Chains A and B, each alone.
Chain A
C-alpha cells in the first residue's frame, strides 16, 4: 500500500477539504471527511487513515503525513521535506468513529457483493456527512437488497437536515426500516416543530413499532427461557441435595465453579488438537465426575456428621465453600480464566432483523432439558433412584428393609454435586469463569428450590422458568439490578405467604 501510495499521481485531493480536515473545528472536520470520501480516491483513504492514527501534522499552511522521518504532502501525495516546527492534528473519538465508517464506505465500490453489503450495514449509523458518498454508491448499485438498505440510510441522513419535502419523503421511506436506530431518528422527528413532519413521523413510527415489537417480545421470551434453563441447571443439583436429602449445601455454588474449571482444564488438553470443537464432549462427563467426586468426599468427611442439624450444616458447608474458593484461587489465580465456545456454538440464528438467537444459549436450553430427563429417568427407573426416594420418604423404614442408607446418602450427594458440575460446564459457555462464579448462583438456586417447594422436582422446573421469565420481563422494564431486587423481594413475600413453596407436600404436622 505504501509503495502504491508513494508512486506519482497526477490527480490531487481537494485542497480545501484537506485544509478543513487539518485546521477546521470538529464539524468542519467531519464534513471534510465526507468530501474526501466522496472523491473515492485511494489517496483520500490513506490520508484519513493517517489522520485517525495521529500521523497527520501541519506546519504553517502545509499539511503532510509523517511516517518516521519521512513526510508526504497530504493533498498531492508527493514526498516533501520534513519541516522542523510542526504541530499534530488531533483526532478525538468522534472523529475516529467517522473515519472508521468512512474507510468502511470505500468498500461500497467493491466488486464483491458481500463486501458491499457489509459496508452498507456498517454505514447504518454513519454521520450525515457520508450522504454524498451514499448517493454516489446508489447511482451504481444494482443489487435490490443493498439498494434498499442504502436508501434507508440515506433517508435517515436526509431526515436530519434537508429541505422539508426531502425530509417528508425520508420519513415515509423510514417506515420500512427494520433497524432499531431508525426508530430513534423518527422519535426525534416526531417532536419536530413542523406539524406535517410530526404527523408523518408518527405514522411511520407506528409502522416501525409494530414490526420491532414482535422481535422484542420474542427476544424477551427467549431470554426468559434461557435464564430459566440456566437457573434450572444451577438448581437441579440442589433439588437433590437440599430438596430430597435436606442438606443445606452452601458450597453448591462452588461445585458449579469446579465444573466450570474442569471444563477449562479439559479445553486446555484440546488446545492444539484438530478436535478442539469437540472438547465439550469430554468436558461434560469430566465436569460431572470431578464435581461428583468432590461432593462425595465432602459428604463422607463433613456433611455425614451433621445430618439433622441444618443450621450447623449451613455453617460447615459455608466453610467448605471458602476453602474451595481459596484453593481454586491458589491453583488457577484470582483472575477469570478464558473458556472458548466451540465453533458450532458461536454466532446465532438471525430470526428477525432485531432478533438473533445465540447458539450457545440454544444449546444450553436443550442441555438443561437433557439433564432434566436423565435425572428423572435415574430417579424413577433405576435402583439407585428407588433407594434415594425410599430414604427420602422414610429413612428408618428404608434401613429396616435393607437399603444401605449411608451409602445411598453418599451416592445421592454425589449425584447432586455432579449435576452442579454439569451446570458449571454450561455456565462456562455463557459467562465468566472465575473463583467467585459460584457465589453469584447460590442465593438464586436456593430461592428456586424453596420457591418451587422442597422435595419437588417439578416445582423446581416451574420455579426456574417463572423466575427466569419474571427477571427478564422486569429487566426490560426497570433495568437489571432493580429487576433482581424486585424478584428477591417477591420471593421473600411469597415464602411468607406460602412457606411450603409453590408445590407443597400436604401434611398436618405442627413442625413443618
Chain B
C-alpha cells in the first residue's frame, strides 16, 4: 500500500518538471493506474452493486452508503480546495465553510423552486415564504427556477465574494493568523445573516424537503447514483486540476509565497495577484462541492456556516497532510468516516475524539498521515 500510495502522494517538486508533457507532468504511470482503478470503482462497481445487485445479496451497497460516500466526496473536493490555499500557499482560510454553504444555497434555491406546488401550503412560493406571509419571491430568487442560473449562482457568488474579499485583504497584506480571524469573522457574520428570516433563505430551517432535480425525483436510486457519479467525476476533475495547478509555474510561485513571501515579492512577483487567484479558484471549487452536496444530503441550513465547520475542514487537510493533494482527500475520508462511525456508535465521545485528532495531529503528525507513510 505505502509504495503505491506514495507515488500518488508525492510532492510537486520531487521529479516533475513544468516542461514535461502534461500527461506525465500530472502523474507517473503508477499514479494514473491508481486513478483509473478508483474511477472504475466509482463509475462501474459502485453503481452495479447498488442498482443491479439484489438488496438481499451480501454485495449490495445500500443507499446509506451511496449517500455517505457521495457526501464524503463533496468534502474531499472542499479539502482539496483548502489544501491549495493552505497547504500550497500558506493561507489558512476559515471561510471555506461559507463558500461551501453559499454553493449549497445556490443549488438549494433551484431545488426549492422544483418543489412547485407540492409543499405543505400548495403555493408556488416555498413554504417558509408562505409562512412569513410573503406574496412574491424576493429579488435574490430571480430566475432561480432555471437550473443553469442556479449553477451559475452556486459558482459565481462564492467566487466573487472570495475575489473581492481576497483582493482587499491581500492588498493590505493581511496574512497569517489575522487572515484566519477575519475570514472567521466573515463566516460568523454570514451565518448570523442567514439565520435571519428576512434575508429570504428560510432562516434557521434553511431549505429541505426537496422533491425533484431536473425533473427526476431526488430520492430515486437512479438519481442518487447519477449524483454520486457526477460527484466522483468532479472530485477526479478537481484533483487533476489541482495537480495541474501545483505542478505548473504558477504553483511553484504559490509554494514560494508560502515559504518566503517577502523573497517572492523581491524577486518581482506580485504576490497579491497569485493569492487572489488561488483563493478565488478555491472558493469556486467549494461552491461546486456545496452544490453537489445539497441534493444528496437533502438539506442546507445556516449551521453549515458555523465557524466550527470551517475549522473542521482545516483539520481534514491537516490529518491527511498539508501540501499533498491525495492527503487532503485521504484526510477528508478518514475524519468524516470516523465521524460517521462515532456519531452512531458513541455519540458522546465524538467531540473528545475530534478534539484529540486536532491536538494529536498538530503535535505528533505535522505532515499528516501522508508524512507518516512517507517516512517508512
Chain A residues packing against B (C-beta within 8 Å): 248, 250, 302, 305-306, 310-316, 318-323, 325-327, 329-330, 439, 443, 446-447, 450, 481-482, 484-485, 488-489, 491-493, 495-497, 499, 510-512
Q: Within 8 Å of chain A (Cβ to Cβ): is B256?
A: no
Q: How far in angstroms is the closest Cβ of chain A from B164?
A: 11
Q: Residue B354 contacts which of A311, A322, A330, A485 (CB distance < 8 angstroms)?
A: A322
Q: How far in angstroms is the closest Cβ of chain B from A495?
A: 5
Give 3 nearest A-B pairs by CB, closest first.
A319-B358, A323-B355, A326-B351
Q: Residue B311 contacts which of A315, A450, A485 (CB distance < 8 angstroms)?
A: A315
Complex Cα distance A306/B360, Å? 12
Q: Residue B185 contacts which of A326, A443, A481 (CB distance < 8 angstroms)?
A: A443
Binds A, one of B14-22, B31-39, B134-142, B188-196: B188-196
B193 close to A322 (CB less than 8 A): no
| Cβ contacts B140-180/A at 8 Å (1 or 0 each) | 00000000000000000000000000001101111011101
Q: How far in angstroms is the closest Cβ of chain B from A490?
A: 10
A326 close to B181 (CB less than 8 A): no
A-side contacts of B178, CB under 8 Å: 450, 495, 499
| Cβ contacts B181-218/A at 8 Å (1 or 0 each) | 11011101100110110000000000000000000000
A314 close to B351 (CB less than 8 A): no
Q: How far in angstroms is the closest Cβ of chain A from B163?
A: 14
Complex Cα distance A495/B315, Å? 26
Q: A443-B184, A481-B192 are in contact. Are A248 and B177 (CB under 8 A)?
A: yes
Which residues 302-342 in B have Cβ within 8 Å of A in the complex? 307-308, 311, 314-315, 318
* 29 pairs of residues in contact across A and B, judged by CB atoms under 8 Å: A250-B311, A305-B363, A306-B363, A310-B176, A311-B92, A311-B180, A312-B362, A313-B362, A314-B92, A315-B311, A318-B311, A319-B354, A319-B356, A319-B357, A319-B358, A320-B358, A320-B359, A323-B355, A329-B348, A329-B351, A443-B307, A481-B192, A484-B189, A485-B192, A488-B188, A492-B186, A496-B182, A497-B172, A512-B173
Q: A314-B177, A326-B351 are in contact. Are A496 and B172 (CB under 8 A)?
A: yes
A-side contacts of B354, CB under 8 Å: 319, 322
Complex Cα distance A447/B180, Å? 12
Q: Within 8 Å of chain A (Cβ to Cβ): is B221?
A: no
B359 close to A450 (CB less than 8 A): no
Complex Cα distance A488/B193, Å? 11
Complex Cα distance A482/B195, Å? 11
User: In this complex, which of A302, A481, A484 has the most chain B Cβ atoms within 10 angstroms of its Cβ?
Assistant: A481
Q: A314-B177, A315-B315, A484-B192 are in contact. Are A302 and B185 (CB under 8 A)?
A: no
Q: A320-B355, A325-B351, A496-B174 are in contact. Are A315 and B318 (CB under 8 A)?
A: yes
B356 close to A311 (CB less than 8 A): no
Query: Chain B: which residue is nearest A446 at the CB level?
Result: B181
Q: How far in angstroms is the closest Cβ of chain A from B40?
A: 36
B358 close to A322 (CB less than 8 A): yes
Query: Chain A: which residue is nearest B260 at the CB level?
Result: A511
Q: How far in angstroms is the closest Cβ of chain B from A168?
A: 38
B351 close to A323 (CB less than 8 A): yes
Q: A311-B180, A443-B184, A446-B181 are in contact. Are A319 and B173 (CB under 8 A)?
A: no
A318 close to B181 (CB less than 8 A): no
Query: Chain B: which residue is nearest A512 at the CB level?
Result: B173
Q: How far in angstroms is the closest Cβ of chain B from A245?
A: 13
Q: Residue A316 contacts which of B169, B192, B351, B358 (CB distance < 8 angstroms)?
A: B358
Q: Within 8 Å of chain A (Cβ to Cβ): is B262?
A: yes
Q: Residue B176 contacts which of A311, A489, A492 (CB distance < 8 angstroms)?
A: A311
Q: How far in angstroms is the closest Cβ of chain A from B320?
A: 13
B362 close to A306 (CB less than 8 A): yes
Q: How far in angstroms is the closest Cβ of chain A from B187?
A: 9
Complex Cα distance A320/B355, Å? 6
Q: Within 8 Å of chain A (Cβ to Cβ): is B11?
A: no
Q: Residue B358 contacts which of A248, A310, A315, A510 (CB distance < 8 angstroms)?
A: A315
Q: How far in angstroms is the closest Cβ of chain A from B189?
A: 4
Q: Residue B180 contacts which of A314, A319, A329, A481 (CB distance < 8 angstroms)?
A: A314
A481 close to B195 (CB less than 8 A): yes
Complex Cα distance A488/B196, Å? 16
Q: A496-B168, A496-B174, A510-B262 are in contact. Are A323 and B352 (CB under 8 A)?
A: yes
A316 close to B363 (CB less than 8 A): yes
A-side contacts of B357, CB under 8 Å: 319
Complex Cα distance A326/B192, Å? 24
A-side contacts of B356, CB under 8 Å: 319, 323
Q: Within 8 Å of chain A (Cβ to Cβ): is B366?
A: yes
Query: Chain B: which residue is nearest A310 at the CB level?
Result: B177
Given contacts A316-B362, A319-B315, 10 further A-B contacts (CB under 8 A): A302-B363, A319-B356, A443-B307, A481-B193, A493-B168, A496-B169, A499-B172, A499-B173, A499-B178, A510-B262
Complex Cα distance A417/B5, Å? 44
A-side contacts of B358, CB under 8 Å: 315-316, 318-320, 322
B-side contacts of A439, CB under 8 Å: 308
Q: Residue B355 contacts which of A306, A319, A329, A488 (CB distance < 8 angstroms)?
A: A319
Q: Residue B174 contacts which of A329, A330, A495 (CB distance < 8 angstroms)?
A: A495
Query: Chain A: which residue is nearest B314 at the CB level?
Result: A315
Q: How far in angstroms is the closest Cβ of chain A from B262?
A: 5
Complex Cα distance A346/B177, Å? 41
B-side contacts of A443, CB under 8 Å: 184-185, 188, 307
Complex Cα distance A329/B350, Å? 12
Which residues 54-89 in B have Cβ within 8 Å of A in the complex? none
A326 close to B174 (CB less than 8 A): no
A-side contacts of B192, CB under 8 Å: 481, 484-485, 488
B-side contacts of A326, CB under 8 Å: 348-349, 351-352, 355
Q: How far in angstroms is the closest Cβ of chain A from B92?
A: 5
Q: Residue B366 contacts which of A312, A321, A493 (CB distance < 8 angstroms)?
A: A312
Query: Chain A: which residue is nearest B307 at the CB level?
Result: A443
B366 close to A450 (CB less than 8 A): no
A485 close to B193 (CB less than 8 A): yes
| Cβ contacts B357-375/A at 8 Å (1 or 0 each) | 1110111001000000000
Complex Cα distance A313/B181, Å? 13
A-side contacts of B366, CB under 8 Å: 312
Q: A314-B180, A319-B357, A485-B189 are in contact. Are A330 and B362 (CB under 8 A)?
A: no
B-side contacts of A488, CB under 8 Å: 185-186, 188-189, 192
Complex Cα distance A450/B185, Å? 12
Q: How far in angstroms is the closest Cβ of chain B from A228?
A: 19
B-side contacts of A495, CB under 8 Å: 174, 178, 182
Q: How far in angstroms is the closest Cβ of chain A from B186?
A: 6
A-side contacts of B311, CB under 8 Å: 250, 314-315, 318
A491 close to B355 (CB less than 8 A): no
Q: How far in angstroms is the closest Cβ of chain B from A39?
A: 43
B351 close to A491 (CB less than 8 A): no
Query: Chain B: which residue is nearest A311 at the CB level?
Result: B92
A-side contacts of B318, CB under 8 Å: 315
Complex Cα distance A325/B311, Å? 16
Q: How far in angstroms is the closest Cβ of chain B from A311?
A: 5
Q: How far in angstroms is the closest Cβ of chain A from B196?
A: 6
Q: How far in angstroms is the closest Cβ of chain A from B112?
A: 23
B174 close to A499 (CB less than 8 A): yes
Q: A316-B362, A322-B358, A510-B262 are in contact. Are A491 and B352 (CB under 8 A)?
A: no
Complex Cα distance A492/B182, Å? 6
User: In this complex, which of A306, A319, A320 has the most chain B Cβ atoms within 10 angstroms of its Cβ?
Assistant: A319
Query: Chain A: which residue is nearest B184 at the CB level?
Result: A443
Complex Cα distance A492/B181, Å? 9
B-side contacts of A510, CB under 8 Å: 262
Query: Chain B: which residue is nearest A318 at the CB level?
Result: B311
B185 close to A447 (CB less than 8 A): yes
Query: Chain B: which residue is nearest A250 at the CB level?
Result: B311
B-side contacts of A319, CB under 8 Å: 315, 354-359, 362
B359 close to A492 (CB less than 8 A): no
Q: How far in angstroms is the closest Cβ of chain B from A499?
A: 5
